[in-house]
């Protein structure tokens, strides 16, 4: 039985990945800053909470990382931890860089120090590309990060590449474009939109305030993306790959699809608030995931419009449950 260790198991991707690995017969361990106090709601929602073991780890503490690697002795490591909000990174740039850049370096160094034949996957980000002028990004596209989050992710990405080349670690990074699900936290704009659409359809009477609705993104389905993570570590030759749907739409279009799924015209319920615009942002994020399809046989089934509908349909199914709980 293979053993997998997931850093950041309580997040959206960590929970879906844990479920996938359990289905594949893995023994799954995970980490959180405080395993006793951490919210494990995502694991509970997927019905796998009792099937994983948890450890408390602080990635910025090298000894903490070394201890959990020694205790678990994993065959595969999935590094999904760190501050994950682009918007929040502008308010907390130091915390963002420490948790992502320094945390990743500690993990790589601990793996090198132990010398075990472990395979490591690192969650990189499409934000590292910055503004490509609307051109689809590939694995060869230069990085030009435009947020503290993207700067930290770019540093971690190059750390992984350096340890792979300099120390022969079996390590790779998935350059994942935006990917969503019902497990996405409320602070993310996609969840904000679908939750508002479901509440308005239920009669809340509220109005949804959004920032720049002209930005365009490639939004995929998180449960599919964790399959790509796993597939990347099954290759004997580690390689960084772009993981995306290959389809890009504007935030306005995503919003329109979400409200349509709720039976509403978004223009009657949405206001644009300039106060929600970011200090700097990527106008258009576009991807070419052809290499991942060629090497992994992986291809996204759900595209951005499908994602919006799936999220709203799930949210609306939860409405009667919430109303019953409140009453």
144-189 pLDDT, tens digit per residue, is: 999 999 999 999 999 999 999 999 999 999 999 999 999 998 889 9
Cα 188 to its chain centre, rounded Å, is 11
CB distance 107 to 77 below 8 Å: yes
Among 84, 39, 76, 82, which Cα is nearest to 58's? Answer: 82
Task: Report, as ranges of residue numbers, the positions in the chain whose pLDDT lies below 50.
Answer: 321-322, 324-327
- Give the pLDDT confidence score for residue 87 in this predicted structure: 81
- Give the pLDDT confidence score for residue 57 in this predicted structure: 94
- 151-175 CB burial, b ≥16 within 10 A, e <16: bbbbbbbbbbbebbeeeebbbbbbb
Kindly state the DSSP code that residue 48 receives in the 8-state scheme. -
Planar angle of CA 190, 195, 46, nearest 5 degrees: 85
- Give the pLDDT confidence score for residue 73 in this predicted structure: 97
CB distance 106 to 160 below 8 Å: no
The count of C-alpha atoms lying within 13 angstroms of the C-alpha of 290, restricted to the half-sphere facing its C-beta, is 5
Tens-place pLDDT, residues 291-308: 999 999 999 999 999 999
- Cα–Cα distance, 100 to 83 (Å, whole number): 7
The model's pTM: 0.93
């Amino acid at each position: 039985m293979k053993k997998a260790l997931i850093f950041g198991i309580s997040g959206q991707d960590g929970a879906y990945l844990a479920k996938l690995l359990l289905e594949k017969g893995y023994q799954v361990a995970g980490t959180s800053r405080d395993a006793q106090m951490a919210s494990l709601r995502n694991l509970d929602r997927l019905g796998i909470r009792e099937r994983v073991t948890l450890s408390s780890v602080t990635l910025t503490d090298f000894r903490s990382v070394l201890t959990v690697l020694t205790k678990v002795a994993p065959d595969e490591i999935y590094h999904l931890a760190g501050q994950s909000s682009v918007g929040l990174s502008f308010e907390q740039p130091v915390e963002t860089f420490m948790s992502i850049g320094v945390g990743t370096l500690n993990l790589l160094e601990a793996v090198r120090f132990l010398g075990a034949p472990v395979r490591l996957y690192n969650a990189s980000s499409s934000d590292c590309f910055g503004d490509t002028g609307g051109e689809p990004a590939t694995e060869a596209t230069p990085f030009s990060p435009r947020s503290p989050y993207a700067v930290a992710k770019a540093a971690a990405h190059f750390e992984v590449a350096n340890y792979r080349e300099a120390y022969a670690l079996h390590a790779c990074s998935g350059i994942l474009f935006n990917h969503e699900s019902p497990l996405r936290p409320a602070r993310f704009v996609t969840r904000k939109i679908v939750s508002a659409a479901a509440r308005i359809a239920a009669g809340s009477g509220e109005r949804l305030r959004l920032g720049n609705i002209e930005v365009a993104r490639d939004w995929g389905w998180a449960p599919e993306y964790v399959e790509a993570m796993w597939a990347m570590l099954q290759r004997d030759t580690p390689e960084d790959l772009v993981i995306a749907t290959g389809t890009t739409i504007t935030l306005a279009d995503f919003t329109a699809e979400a409200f349509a799924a709720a039976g509403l015209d978004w223009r009657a319920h949405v206001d644009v608030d300039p106060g929600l615009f970011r200090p700097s942002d990527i106008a258009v994020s576009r991807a070419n995931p052809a290499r991942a399809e060629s090497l992994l046989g992986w291809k996204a089934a759900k595209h951005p419009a499908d994602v919006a509908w799936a999220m709203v349909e799930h949210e609306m199914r939860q409405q009667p449950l919430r109303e019953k709980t409140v009453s």
